[in-house]
Amino acid sequence: MSAPIAVIDTGICNLRSVTKALEAVGAAPVVVRTPAELDSSGAEGLVLPGVGALRDCVFSLRSSGLDASVREWIRLDRPFLGVCLGMQALFEQSEEGGVKGLGILPGRVVRFVLPAPYKVPHMGWNTVRFAQPDSPLREGLEDEGESFYFVHSYHCVPSDRSLVLAECDYGSPFVAAVGRGRVFATQFHPEKSQAKGLKVYRNFAASAAAPLIR
């Protein structure tokens, strides 16, 4: 049986579609809402999904105490996947209401400023270019030409370019995913991205099941 993968319920995330996607790739998702539930879950991987407003996502994490749990999980390089707001929450600051993020990754979150005919939010399918050829999250995915589903008005600008796992173009290039060790985050929604998205979840589940070699 697959090792459990904890999925944080912030109250504003697409919880059902994420857990269904994990189940579809043979993973065993466990929904957690408190640090105690995470500690008792036996999870080998942790997923932070989110839709809506970043302020609400970060407030939920801080109110439950799971912000500290996420920091410690990532500090230990345990398998982590942030999705959409779950990616934005990792950074230091956002232009969306001046929200302070968790400050785990250096950089900020900014709103798209685009010429016509580009519209905000960026919504729909778009092509992603992967970097980091050795990243386990993109195993079996092409360097260029893979399409994923996006819904967002803000995008992340890492201070450290080595974090960039994937980029996409919408008016100009923006960061579509970040990665460091076994910590990953995507601006796109793998659970809404059909077969390629399931491949991302399958790769993450495999990373969670693999022993950490130091």
Task: Give me the domains of the chain, ranges plus CATH numbers.
Answer: 4-209 (3.40.50.880)
Q: Is 95 a catalytic residue?
A: no
What are the tens digits of pLDDT across the range 122-146? 999 999 999 999 999 999 999 888 9
b/e map of 98-132 (b: 16 or more CB within 10 Å)? ebebbebbebbbeebeeeeeeeeebeeebebebbb
Position 213 scores a pLDDT of 54
For the four alpha carbons of 21, 108, 184 and 11, in that order, the dihedral sign comes to negative
Order across the sheet with 154-158: list the strands.
93-94, 107-111, 154-158
Residue-wise pLDDT tens digits, 32-45: 999 999 999 999 99
Round to whole Å and give the CA distance between 99 and 191.
Answer: 26
Pairing assessment for the beta strands 154-158 and 107-111 based on DSSP bridges: antiparallel
Q: Kindly name the residue from 13, 57, 84, 168 that is annotated as catalytic.
A: 84
Q: Is 149 helix (H, G, I), strand (E, B) or coil?
A: strand
- Predicted confidence (pLDDT) per residue in 171-208, tens digit: 999 999 999 999 999 999 999 999 999 999 999 999 99
Percent of the chain residues past pLDDT 70, beyond the cut: 98
Task: Please report the beta strands in the chain, taking only residues with DSSP state E, as ranges in sequence order.
Answer: 4-8, 28-32, 45-48, 80-83, 93-94, 107-111, 122-130, 146-152, 154-158, 164-170, 172-180, 183-186
Q: What is the pTM of this model?
A: 0.95
Residue 205: exposure state from Cβ atoms within 10 A (0-12, 13-18, ≥19): buried
What is the per-residue pLDDT for 1? 47
Verify whether residue 191 is a known catalytic residue.
yes
Active-site residue 152, yes or no?
no
Which of the following is catalytic: 37, 44, 146, 191? 191
